[in-house]
Structure 1
Amino acid sequence: MSLTHRLWLAFVLMAILSLTSALIGWAGFRHIKQIEQQSTLNLLPTMKTALQLNEAGAYILFSGQALNEVTSEDERQAQGKILTTQSIRIRSLLSQLQDSGFDTSKIQQQEQLLSQHLSEQGQLVEQRLTVSREFSQIHDRIASAANQMTVLTKSQVNNASTAVSANIATMYDDIEKNNRQAVETSLDRLVEVDLDHQSRMTELHEQSLNVANLLAQIVSTSSDDMLADIEKQFGQLVIIVKRRVEFVEDPHRRSLLLPLVSELEAYRALFQHKRDSIELQQRLSFSGQYSLLLFSQFNSELDALVRQVNARSQQDLEKISIARNTSQNLLIIMSIISLVALLFILWRIVWRSVARPLTMQIEALQRILDGDLQTPLPQTISASELKTIGYLVERFRTNTLSLHHQQRYLEMLVAQRTEELNDLVRQHTLARQDAELANKAKSTFLATMSHEIRTPLNGILGTAELLLLKPLPDEDRMAIEVINDSGESLLSILNDILDYSSIEAGRIAILPTSVAPDELIQQAYQLMSSAAHKKGLTLNVEQDAALPEYLQVDRQRVWQIVCNLVGNAIKFTDTGSVTLSSLKVAESWQISVSDTGIGIPTDRQKTLFQPFTQLTHRRGGTGLGLTICQRLSQAMNARLSFESQAGKGSRFTVSIPLKSAGLACLPDAAPQPVEQFSGYHLLLIEDNLINQKVTTALLNQLKVQVTVVSTGREALERLSASDHGFDMALVDLDLPDIDGCELANRLKIQVPDLPLTAFSAHILGNIPEHCYQSGFVGFLSKPLRLKALTEYLSTHLGRSRVIQPVDLLDRKQINDDIRLFGQSQISQWLVLFRENNLPLIERLKSAYQAGEVETIRSVSHQLKSSSGSLSMSTLSHYFGDIEKTYQLDVLKLDALVSDSLYSLEQALNPE
């Protein structure tokens, strides 16, 4: 039998054993499933019915108790409906249980008794409601009569008092006249008539009040004995009141009081209804107790029924357990048999016939491979395949012997060649070490020079920027702008050198993101338009609607190339225009910058992209801009080309591979406003005095409170208190006592909740990444600019931005206008602008939505002039852009109009 047949036989036998075990397990579990299903079909409806019986019994208990407390016929009928519904439900459920084989005769009897008693209880409640209603009617009638009598008797008391007062007054008149007989007569009348009448009327009024008091006691009493006492007192009061009414002298008042007395005399019916009500309430109380007793008996029978259900459920569970144990035992026995059979198959067929002979062959082959070419091969092999392997191994041994001699010859040749290569490697290693030392020296030199130049630049640019924020004479402002522009030029030269150094070192990182090409071109236009306007040039933009809305490119690198090309075009153009184009050409995004400048001579075009190449030294620059643009283009698999003719201008074009992208969060490259962060407190850790002053002044411009320390030790001491009160710490990396990163590690342990920002002129190498690894949340490079500081604090402190007038207004123009015309006149012009131009802005937006090009051009031109007249330069430039491109952003326009008007108001009315 061949090796294949032996293995197939072993696999078939093992498959049969596995299938047999699976079938036995499947049959056992199927039997268990059938028992479980049958038990479930019998058990679940029964348990559900028992639960519904409990629920219905609870409803009957609650409704029976609520029936005694009803106060109206509607409530009684509602509770009666609930009781009837639940009684029918219980009978239906009991019928279901009886159909399932349960004995429900006793519980049915208890339910009938409970239903009959609740029906009687409902009749008692109905009688109580009827008696209560009749009692209330009589009580209201008698109470009304008592209240009316109280009012009438009060007037009689007042009349009697008036008569006494009049008789006394007459007596005093007779005394003054010395009429003794009249005085005696008046005195007798006063004592025998008036005072007696007053006393009777007062008593009548008091008894009327007592009647009203007793009526109130009748309502609240619940005792028969107390009710009898009240009835006796009430009868006596009625007799007394009736007698006193007869002494009322005024016939009209007496005629009014007599019917009221008749009403009071009907008190016996009132007390009878009250006694009936008390009796019915007592009967209802006994009935409620009896209901509880019947429900307790009903619940006992229900518990007995539930126990029957549980007993049947336990029987079903026992059946399932027996079936599961039987199947489990059978499966265990079959598994043991299968295991024994499997072991026998593995030993007899796999090991003895296949594995062991194959192992012998492998061992012999391994010895041959180890160099023992004379080793014997096993001969007692029955499988034909193994015999073939033996034959092949024998041939392999013969071939190996012939190759052995050839190998020795090749080894000798390889040894010679290896020695030659080792010499070349040693020479290359020495050359590489020299190059690394030179590169390290260059990097150290650039890092040192960068730090040493950026540190004084921080003071120069920061101080110039702070001075430009203040109102200055034109001559001083011009001088400071020259200082600021010169510092910016020096910083640009330094950045070009550092970028070129990074490119030479091969540290160009391309990070593609989702970018909106139209938005990037517009932002570049807005950034460079001011430089073009200063030279009297026209900066045009051409955009292709066929471009995708979003592209996958490195935004920072594309932005750097575009700004560099546009900046060069403006620099080398004295008159005319510069055009920035964004087009879709084939499968590439083509960005072109054309100008009408001096052009490039033919003999200089070949060396244009070489580093430190300048067309003329009069235009300034490092000669690295185009070199950097070319290297960045190559890193992005793009192509930078140009066309130029001396005296007629140039055209630079960068073609970037077109890769569409989805929507993403795009950065805002528009000029950011200065912000205020009032209420924030920052700790500045800086040893350089100039940097301390400049940084503090910049932060103060943003309304940030600053505390300055010069060393790391002072910072640790200052932050030792738990309530340090700082929102952020700016840490210089070059402190005299402690390294900035080491200080950050200590501060993260001491004050883990304090955000730390690295602050340094070192930007080469991996310094920013090292700062993030040390626990810094951000990195600010020197020289520090107000815009960059504002954006950084916005991100890490989370304050909303407040636009200052300096960002949106032409400060020189507004100061001149105030001096010439006065604040009041300009304020009037501002009112006229709101009245006349705000409707025009709404008209402009409507024309844009309707696509009315001519209206957009004329209205934007009008708004551009009026905005510029009021010194709102940014708004005027935006209207000029709309006039040229016929494109506008409604949200941006609304925000710019609102912020410009607010800025102008703040300039006219400073706090």
Structure 2
Amino acid sequence: MLLPRRSPPGRPRRAAIAPARDPLRAMTGSATSPSPHARSAGLPNTRTFNSTRHNAAANLALGLILLATIVEAALLAGEATSADSSRPFHWLTMVVLMVITVAGVGSFALMRRRVDELEKLSASMQEALRAKDAAEAANMVKQRYLATVSHEIRSPLNAIYGYAQLVEQQNDVDPRQAARVIRRCCEHITTLSEGLLDIAQLDSGVLRLRHEAIDLPDFLDQLTWMVRPGAEAKGLAFHLQTVGRIPAVVRTDPGRLRQALLNLIGNAVKFTASGSVTLRVAYRGQIATFDIIDTGPGIAEEDQQRVFDPYERADGSAQGVGLGLPITKAIVRILGGDLKLASTPGQGSCFTVTLMLPEPIRALDPQATQRKIIGYEGDRRRILVVDDEAEQRDLLQHYLTACDFHVTTAASGAEALALCAECAFDLVMLDISMPGMTGWETGARIRELCGSQVRIAMASANAQEFHRPETDKASHDHFFVKPYRLDDLADGIGALLGLSWQWESTGETPEEPAGSARGKRLPKRALEHVERLRERIHIGHVRGIEAEIAMLAQAAPDHGRLVSALYAALDEFDLAGLLRLLEEA
């Protein structure tokens, strides 16, 4: 048995190391309780976690002290036994002390590993808390965007409600003008609804655009009709000013442009107590400038950048959720433009939108949108309309019958299958969201039953249905988005069935059916743009492609059909189709 030795003469006796009752508590203090935030998040408290790390460090320090004491005891024992090496337990004592030393080193390594593990766990917990905060922020974006949409919907709803009452009371208002305003307002509400689905794409800077040729003066007039009632209700004057020449037709995404301008004008009306709001439009070198000028309180210079941040407002007392400007800026940038702000406190503000709006080579036919389809060349075609909502079936039946189709309707997938077994249809139009058998299932069954000779078109109010990974594109040939636009219906059905329409005004087709873009050979001055266009296509530079198509249109004014086909392929981001069109040109 090993006994403690007395200290050698002349050497002071070392004090025994008395272990503390709780060395970790003595070095670090009492543990903290979890914070309410951590308890509500279901995660360990960060303060408690930091205390644990301090405890581990204290444990490591204590281990180092113990290890030093063990080594010193071994050295003292060696000095004592070296004087009398004949003692029987000398070597046994050395072995035991070596074992104790090794055990101390092992304890040190174990405590060090424990500290490393706690540090890694602490980093993981910090990352989890950051992820939780990010998720809460993203959820807040969606909730506040929903609240913002409610405000944005009120302007077009006000115009719809007002004109509906005027027409109902038979006041001195042009019914056709009222119908145009109501239609434009409905299109804007549809755009807002689609924006709810686009919010995730908007966050990532990727938003699907739909470019088309629009009548710019008519677009501005309709915008004025939509916002003027709200301005006048606040006692404000609204002015539309055009500077210089404004082109009759430009190419852009009208829904997104309308959404951006309405957001800015709506903000100006909202924050202006008296005076006026002005929309000033200028156009030069295919660049359009839209200035929204108000006589409101203005924005201080130090706040002008902050108003473009989510949830921020220049005036903390102002009402609203602060998402209109950030969303508008994102839309303008995706359209390829820029949004700037100039403001003087006490005088007002001016938001400027700058966009490239190219003029198409072939102007719009002003009568084309007013002409009515009365039929088509060739034999009469049979169409089956399948929808569980009677109003949707009646709408399609009324329109298609007026276009000289033989229309049959069904309220379910099972009824549609029974009709397809009895009769051969040229086209089947299926609603996707039907109870029981969905449109996708019905389409697949009809494809098995009738083969490829029948055309199948899907329809849904959810545009995202078409982009789902599980969508079986082999079971259908086309996709329509509700609410239906009659022009889109005519274009889609005409392409599916290869029809040449007959129109009420002339009885002739306005243009040849879609197909070959080939015509006369391109002039030499256009070939350079063709080569540049190929380069842009190979690298996927969308804005460069659009710019080169515009330059090609100027260099080859007689090839409007090719230019239109190129724009259509670009809208679908069909790069292979663009190259194919250039090869055929």
TM norm structure 1: 0.31
Larger Rg: 1
Whose relative contact order is higher, 1 or 2, with alpha carbons under 8 Å and at least 6 apart?
A: 1
| Higher share in helix | 1
| Higher share in strand | 2
